[in-house]
Each structure stands twice: as structure tokens, then as C-alpha cells.
Amino acid sequence: MLAEFFFLLRKAGLRVSITEYLTLLEALRARVASVSVDEFYFLARATLIKDEALFDRFDQVFAAHFKGIEQLFQAFSAEVPQDWLQRQAELLLSEEERQKIESMGGFEALMEALQQRLREQDDQHHGGNKWIGTGGTSPFGHSGFNPEGVRIGGKGGNRRAVKVWEKREYRNLDDSVQIGTRNIKLALRRLRRFAREGAADQLDLPGTIESTARNAGLLDIRMQPERHNAVKVLLFLDVGGSMDDHVRVCEEMFSAARAEFKHLEYYYFHNFIYESVWKDNRRRHAQRIPLTEVMRKYGPDYRLILVGDATMSPYEISYPGGSVEHWNDEPGQVWLNRLLRAYPHAVWLNPEPEQRWGYTPSIQMTRELMDERMYPLTLRGLDESIQGLRRPVAVTALAGAPEPAP
Amino acid sequence: MSSARFAGTERYVATEDLMMAVNAGITLGRPVLVKGEPGTGKTQLAEEVARSLERPLFEWHIKSTTKAQQGLYEYDAVARLRDSQLGDDRVKDIGNYIRKGRVWEAFTSEVQPVLLIDEIDKADIEFPNDLLRELDQMEFTVYETGETVRARHRPIIIITSNNEKELPDAFLRRCFFHYIRFPDAETMQSIVEVHYPGLKQELLREALNAFYQVREVPGLKKKPSTSELLDWLKLLLAEDIPPEALRASDKRAIPPLHGALLKNEQDVHLFEQLAFMHRRNAR
């Protein structure tokens, strides 16, 4: 039972090692956890998972695997209370949908279908997929009725029985870090800029010899600060829409960058840069951060990296009100120019294959705005982009054709 | 192996999963790695574990310049060189220039000690790897004298991290891990109760409300944490602020004595802006 759980965890992309598995067995043998399933859950989590960002994924696998077995612990009843579902559904469904429900054979049948769907989701999820809302054609889907919400809430109605792993409190933390980012890390390493800053704690040998000689041979120690990677990076990531095809490579890039740079700040945007960006995709409409704020907060010593496919309608770049999501008073190119003026060391990484760039006008426009500093999001492109970051961008794009800086 | 168990103290509210991680670490003699937002009581955990189990505590605070070797011992070659130039007799025994580090001190403790390695992520990326063998085998060799130092009792090791750097896998594999979540309102209430027993219920409720509202504000550079809440409550008590003043504060959006909660001028500025917009909207 535990070995199976171990392999399920690995299948879900959690890199649990044999040492950790053995530690868990050892701890169980030493009776660290008693018979309660809660205690076992806490112990397993503390032993096997070493990153709070992965807690959510662990919770999901745990829930999926121990679902049938939990009766052994005799802790909870597994059914979702019917009346609760009904209440919740009435809250969420519109008049139109309610009529549709009638046409599907009434509420009871629908609830059965829903429970069926919940079970299916669980099974699929076994394979390590994320739970996503049911498709657009589903009777539950478009109103944002989240099956997982039902499950959680269902348990919530019966307060004592809430299972920690089913609450999935760590949902927001999972940044789905992919493994195999080492190559990217190595490429990013080229961006390192060493500087001697901070406390003097290393022997400056030439300095010591010189000053000892001046001191008539009596030892005079000279110290100097250690070299540190002093580069600072500001990362802007395009999310949603056409970027969905490139999620994996962007995640790799992001997690590699996070590991590599001490000073890394990241923001998200959609399609193009406008007056505001955001930090948390779940709350993108509620928590927008003005771009001016970003430019005020981080000094010009930051290197700017924009990641996006720049594939959109040209209006989204050049016209006020062109944004697909909101009304923008000023065109996107004005904002990009402001950003480039604040951070002259900038590149744009594009996950679209380079051959296709010529056929997309918006990519051409963005490239011009970026003073040709657009690179494909491949290892080679990363290498080149790091060369590109060394020279400042010439921001004259709006006035006329730019001359590259010498 | 040890049979001691930690169950929180009268001064420290430990959640169930935290206790589990600590007890697993104690029982199996492995390090416990504690992560979490600043100010959620990571460092305090070690103090409380030491206090409740009545063990001596050795604290090793890590800075960006700390090297793993410094925790074991340091050989002060410079002092020896100076002494040799001045013809000091001490110079003949190299042992005079070996200074014990915190790990060494913990290893020689008479009873099983608690060793706190605080903010391990501050140090260089290689730092945790350099300590692997020492924490595994609980012994190390002093190269200068050839002496092998072995732990008399396997210390209870608590390591804290603020998540500024990712820690190497090989190191993580040997630890139990716990992430201190920011406490929910209920836990927070019991934490406050532990620190200020008998605080007026009404004041506490209003203060917690205001506190969580502040935390909800988007774009704060530094969200106030538990320790800041406790400081703020102390101030509120000292100034004898009535609960009503706190309730009024969500209209004006900036709580009284906010200096204890907001620690940089950008955040205060952001708050003033919000307060201004709030008043304008209310009109």
C-alpha cells in the first residue's frame, strides 16, 4: 500500500527519493505517528515533500490514493450531502440553466450526473493531471461551477470531517516547476555579473604583500569583500490566450530563473504591456499593479526580460483601446517604450519558432520596438539574448527607424 | 533515538503538523527544516523546544558570509602568525588557535542539546551541502590537529529558512520539512491569548479584523506578520486605544499606530493613497 503510494507520488512528478521513503517507514516503525490518518498525513508530508509549493500536488495524490483505504481509519463518511449540493447549485445556476436541468430529467438526475463526474475527475486526476472545470458544453461548466468546490464545501457542511488534504490550502503555491531546467540555468549563468560588495572577509593577497613590505616586514593584513553575483532581473511573462501552447517552456524558464538570480522580480501581462501588470494570476483583475509603480520601485540597474509570443492584432500594440481585455487610454507601444527607457538593458524572448516571425505583423512591430532584441525561447536564443542584454536598447522607435546602439 | 516529545508550550502555540514534524525529527535524530513567512515564529520554535524538553540550546545564526567550516571550528592562522612574529610561547601549540564553532559546542554537550541553524538560506548555495556529512554522521575531523570530534548525544537540529534560495536536494532529502503557514484567525486568537492573556475580547476582535484587512491589501512590500501584530497589540494596550477607534479605522483605511504594522514608507504611502480614494468614493 505504501510502495504504491510512493510510485504514485513519483508519477505525479514529485521527486520523492528512496531515502525519504525509507525514512517514512522508519518513522512509522518508531511509532512517531499513531493510527490516526491525520497524523499519518502530517508525517508523510514532512518526510516526503520539501517544498511548500508542492504541498497541493501531494494533497491531491494523497486524497486519490487513500480514498478507498480511509475506512480503515474509520474517520469520515465519504458521501457529499445531497441537500448541500442542491443548495449550492441553486445558488450558482441561472434561470436558463435551471430550465435546461428540467429538460435533462430534473434535479435528481443532474446531481447523479454531477457525482458521476466528480468520480471521473478523481480518476483522471490519478494520472497527475490537474483538475479543471468541466468543458464548455457541460451543464455545470460555464457558470464557473467548480466540481472541486463542491467536494470541499460538501465536507465543510460537516465540519469535523474536513480533511486537511482535501481543503487543498496550498493551491496557489504550485508553480508547476518542471524538472530538467539545468540547461536553462547554465545559460542564465552567463548573465552573472560579479561585483565585490559587502563585508571585507577575504584575504587580498597582493594588497597584503604590498602593505607588509611597506610596513617593514611586519605583517599587515588587507581584506576585501567576496565576489557576488550582483545582477538584478525584472521578468515580465505573458499568460493566457495564445501563450497556452508554450506553458511548459515558460515554466522551465521561470523556475530556472528563480533558482539562478537572487534579485528576481516577476510580473504577468496579457498579450502586450499596458498601464498595469499583476503578480498573481488568480487575482489578476483584483490586484493590478501600475507599471509606473514597478518602474519607481526597481532601479535602472535591473535587466528587463519580457517573455511572450507577441502574436496578436497590431491594433493591440499601436492604438488606444486596442487591448482585448480592457480599455487602455494609451497604446501599448507607448508603455513598452516607457519601460525600455526605464530599463535600457532589455530583451524579448519569444517561444514562437523563429521562422514564423516574419509572417506575423505584431511580432515585427514588437521587434522594432525592442530594437531587434527579440530572441527565440530556446537555449541558443537564451545565449544570444544574454549578449543582447549587455548593450542598452536605443529607444527611438516611435520617432522613426532606430539605429542600434554601438 | 529519543523518547522526548514536543507538544507546544504555554508561550508557543504549535499546530498539529508542526508537532508531528518536530517529533519525527527528535525520534529519528534528523534535522527539521522549518520554512515560512518572516515573523511566524520559526526561530522561536527552537527556543521553545529547548525550553519544554529542558535541553541546552545552541544557536548558530547564518549570515551571507558564513561558511560551513565556521560552525565546526576556525583556525586563526593570522593570530598565530602575529604571535610568532612577537615570539609568544603559545605559538607552539596549534590547539591554542583553534576556536570551537557552535556545532562543535553542541557535539560536546553533556545532555542532548537543541541546535538551531537559523536562516540557512542566507548563506552561499553550497553551504548546506558542506554540512551534509557532519549532520549525517555527527562527527568531523579537525585537520590541523588530526582530532576527531564525535557528538556525545545526537543533537535535535532545527533549521530555519526564509526561502530566499532553494536548498540542494541532497540536503533536503535528509530533513523533515515543515512550512509554517500564516495562522488563520482562530489560531491567531489563541496565539494572542498566549501572549496577552485576558485581552479585552472586543479590542482583540477589532484588532484582528484591522490586521487581516491590512494583510489583504494588494501590493504591500512587506505584509505584517504575527510578531508585528503582537507588537501592535502591545502598543494599543499601552496607549489604551478603545476598540471603537479601530472600527472607525476601516472607513479611513489607515489604522492607528500603524507604524508597528507597516515597516516602510512605500507601504504607508500606498495606504494613504487608498485611504484617500476610499474617502473620495464614499463621498
- Convert the pLDDT of each residue in B221-270 to its tens digit: 777 888 888 888 888 877 777 777 776 555 455 677 777 777 777 777 77
Size of interface A-B (CB pairs under 8 A): 83
> Regarding predicted confidence, which is higher, A363 or A127?
A363
Residue A94 clears pLDDT 50, i.e. is over it: yes
Percentage of the residues of chain A whose pLDDT score is greater than 90? 0
**Closest B-chain CA to A279:** B219
How confident is the model over A162-191, as a mean pLDDT?
52
Question: d(Cα B19, Cα A42) in Å, to the nearest integer?
Answer: 9
What pLDDT score was predicted for residue A115?
57
CA torsion angle A375 A379 A380 A382 (round to 10): 40
Q: Do A289 and B33 touch (CB under 8 A)?
A: no
Q: What is the pLDDT of residue A161?
A: 33
Range of weakest confidence among A348-357, A395-404, B16-25? A395-404
Which range has the top average pLDDT, A32-41, A80-89, A307-316, B19-28? B19-28
Chain B neighbours among A 255-294 (CB < 8 Å)?
Answer: 258-259, 262, 279, 283, 286-289, 293
Least confident segment among A84-98, A277-291, B54-68:
A84-98
Contacts of A226 in chain B (CB under 8 A): 65
pLDDT in tens, A52-89: 778 888 888 888 887 766 554 443 334 444 444 444 44
Q: Which three cell numbers stand for residue A265?
A: 522580480
> What average pLDDT score do residues A267-282 get?
82
Averaged over A107-131, what is the pLDDT? 49
State how far the Cα of A295 lies from the Cα of A308, in Å rounded to an integer: 20
* DSSP single-letter state for residue B123: S
Sort out which chain B residues have CB atoms less than 8 A from A43's CB and list them.
Answer: 20, 24
Of the candidates B39, B19, B47, the residue with the CA atom closest to the CA atom of residue B178 = B19
Q: Phi then psi for A354, rounded to 5 degrees?
A: -60, -35
**Does the pLDDT at position A247 exceed 60?**
yes
pLDDT string in tens for chain B (283-residue length) = 455 778 777 778 888 888 888 888 888 888 999 988 777 888 888 998 998 888 999 999 998 888 888 889 988 888 888 888 888 888 888 888 899 999 999 999 889 999 999 988 888 777 888 888 888 888 899 888 888 989 888 899 999 988 777 788 888 888 888 888 888 877 888 888 888 877 777 778 888 888 887 887 766 777 788 888 888 888 887 777 777 777 655 545 567 777 777 777 777 777 777 777 766 666 5
pLDDT at res. B60? 92
- Nearest CA-CA distance, residue A372 and chain B, Å: 33
Residues of chain A in contact with residue B33, where contact means CB-CB under 8 angstroms, are: 50
Whether B27 and A45 lie within 8 Å, measured CB to CB: no
Mutation site for A-interface testing, chosen from B177, B264, B277 by largest number of A Cβ within 10 Å? B177
| Model pLDDT, residue A137 | 35
Supply B51's cell numbers.
525550553
> Given this model, what pLDDT does residue B274 score?
73
All three cell numbers of A124, joined, read 483522471
A287 pLDDT band (50/70/90 cuts)? confident
Q: Is the dihedral of CA A341, A342, A343, A346 positive or negative?
A: negative
Q: Do the strands B32-36 and A263-269 form a parallel or antiparallel pair, or are they unpaired?
A: unpaired
Cβ atoms within 10 A of the Cβ of A226, count?
Answer: 16
- Is the Cβ–Cβ distance between B193 and B36 less than 8 Å? no
pLDDT at B104: 92
Please state the rounded mean pLDDT for residues A35-48: 83
Lowest mean pLDDT of A50-59, A110-119, A213-222, A371-380, name the range.
Answer: A110-119
A32·B218 Cβ contact <8 A: no
Q: Which residues of B touch A (CB under 8 A)?
A: 1, 16-17, 20-21, 23-24, 27-28, 30, 32-33, 35, 64-65, 78, 81-82, 85, 164-167, 169, 172-179, 181, 218-219, 266
Span between the terminal Cα atoms of chain A, in Å:
65
Q: How far apart are CA A194 and CA B85, in angstroms?
A: 36
A396: confidence class by pLDDT, cuts 50, 70, 90: low
Contact B179 A199 (CB under 8 A): no
Confidence of residue A140 (pLDDT cuts 50, 70, 90): very low
Res A58: pLDDT: 85
Q: What is the pLDDT of residue A102?
A: 57
| Facing residue for B16 by CB, picked from A23, A42, A287 | A42
Q: Residues B138, B160, B113, CA angle at the centre, nearest 5°?
A: 40
